[in-house]
Structure 1
Amino acid sequence: MIVGGIELTELEQDALTEVVNIGVSRAAAALRKMVGKQVLLSVPAVEIVTRERAATLLGERESDELVAVRQSFAGAFSGRAMLIFPEDNSLDLVRAVTGDELSPEEVVEMEEEALSETGNVILNGCLATMANMLKRPLTMSIPVVFRGGGSDLFNPDPEAGEDGLVLFLYINFTVLERNLRGYIAMMMDMPSLATLKDLLGQFIAEVVGEAPQ
């Protein structure tokens, strides 16, 4: 995989997928404690794409407005992480999180707070696990909820640099027989992705018991 000059070998791609899958599994466990019900999160694919391609991927899958929970992260590699849902899925997620105990009006009132908390649990669970596996700490900002189309979500942050790429994950959610779809996207600049590639190399070397080249 080569995107924007960043090349991942097949082994690095496999390692990245494994690290992300473990992170998402930990996030599912944390969300399960929060909702008190069985939660399954599966990640069919992990890709590194340009911002434009990430917006196109969302546009191809989702025709409606999107809701996203965004948090910045910083450490050995830094960027912005987003948990993204189609808007029509967001209230279903709130109902799952609140145990179907609220009226329709209360669900709407609680939507932003519940989405922030859910995003915080999933993004922190995923990123903290990745950081632990790669042996580099990360700090996370307070979650922010916003709405828009794919191009709005992936507009570059002037502080993040115009050459940023996106680590893009498509996720299937199952909560109490509800099928909710969503996405996790981590926007990083080229130096951060280069660092991530180096850390994946070190992770692989430790797993196979060889010193990195």
Structure 2
Amino acid sequence: MTIKPTSEQINTLQKLFNTGVERANTMLNYLTEWPLHLQMSAIEILSSQQLQAKLEQRVNTEYVAAMELAVRGEFEAVAQLIFPADSAATLVEVLADPDRRNLDQDALKMKTLSEVGNIFFNGVMGSLSNVINGGITYMAPTYKENTVKHLLASSDSNVNATAILGRIQFKIEQIQVKGDIILFFKIYPFENLLEDITHVK
């Protein structure tokens, strides 16, 4: 059963994720000659089953790229940053440096999206780590490609985990490009995270 956080807890989680995305935004702007603007949507709290239904609804059965991060410590979590095909192609086009453009298309895509994923997770985990009392550890995220169904099935996560789902919109107004990145965290036990953020102002 999905834990029901209070409105104050949801607001705090939203602020923490917003802060993480803002940090990532600052770092990503060093990689492009045009100002890149990121905005985090309102987060949703879902069960694992609801998460799969939502993700399949958004990206259907298309093959997607993703960065996956495993977290251990006060709670266990699996996070994925999912790049729908159109958004992945746009990010590669605007962020890949001249040296990388000499690579074949698959390697170019993997290296560019891996860098984006590392930057995002550094920003988000840096924000969350500031409020977690018991401490957490995590390794470098890994790059994957598959359908959402297979990506979720392959993630090592408790079936009773609670998911935090959000959408990150990106745009570069100067060249009129935009897209979406999907971010989710499956966390167990979710109560441990909620307890840590209860007193955050």
TM (normalized to structure 2)?
A: 0.86
Correspondence for 2:54: 57
Structure 1: which amino acid aligns with 2:177?
Answer: R
Q: Which runs of 5+ in 2 are unaligned?
A: none
Matches within 5 A, 1:113-124: 113-124=111-122
- Corresponding residue for residue 184 of structure 2: 185
Letter in 2 for 1:114: T
Q: Partner letter of residue 123 of structure 1?
A: F
Helix, strand or coil: the match of 2:199? helix
Q: Whole-Å Cα distance in 1 between the matches of residues 2 and 56 of structure 2?
A: 25
Deviation at 1:139, TM superposition (A): 2.9
Note the residue ranges of structure 1 that are not aligned, 5 or more in a row: 208-213
Which whole-Å CA distance do the structure 1 matches of 2:94 and 2:137 have between them? 28
Secondary structure at the aligned position of 1:94 is classed as: helix
The alignment yields a C-alpha RMSD, in angstroms, of 2.4
- The alignment covers a number of residue pairs equal to 198
The answer (yes or no) to whether the contact 2:24–2:123 under 8 Å persists in 1 is yes
Give matches, 1:7-156, under 5 Å.
7-63=4-60, 64-99=62-97, 106-134=104-132, 137-155=135-153
Q: Identify the residue that residue 201 of structure 1 maps to in structure 2.
A: 198
Distance 2:103 2:86 in 1: 15
Q: Give the drift of 1:199.
A: 1.0
Q: CA deviation at 1:146?
A: 1.4
Quote the Cα distance in structure 2 between the aligned partners of 1:77 and 1:23: 19
Counterpart Cα distance in 2 of 1:114 and 1:94: 6
Query: Which amino acid counterpart does residue 129 of structure 1 have in structure 2?
Result: S
Note the alpha carbon deviations across 1:166-189, whole angstroms, 9 max, x for none. Answer: 111111112453202111111112
Higher relative contact order (CA 8 A, sep 6+): 2
Q: Compared with structure 1, are the counterparts of its residues 18 and 79 closer, same or farther at alpha carbon in structure 2 (3 Å cutoff)?
A: same
Paired AA for residue 27 in structure 1: A
How far off its partner does 1:100 sit? Answer: 7.1
Cα displacement (A) at 1:33: 2.1
Instruction: Output the CA distance in 2 between the equivalents of 1:39 and 1:137.
Output: 32
C-alpha deviation, 1:25, in angstroms: 0.9
Query: Please, which of 160, 168, 171 is the counterpart of residue 168 of structure 2?
Result: 171
Contact 1:91 1:107 in 2 (8 A): no
Quick one: structure 1 residues 157 and 44, their matched pair in 2 at CA, closer, same or farther if it must change by over 3 Å?
closer
Cα distance per residue 1:58-113 (max 9 Å; x no partner): 22222322211111123333311111011232122112211578659744431111
Aligned sequence identity (%): 21
Secondary structure at the residue paired with 1:112? helix
Contact 1:74 1:140 in 2 (8 A): yes
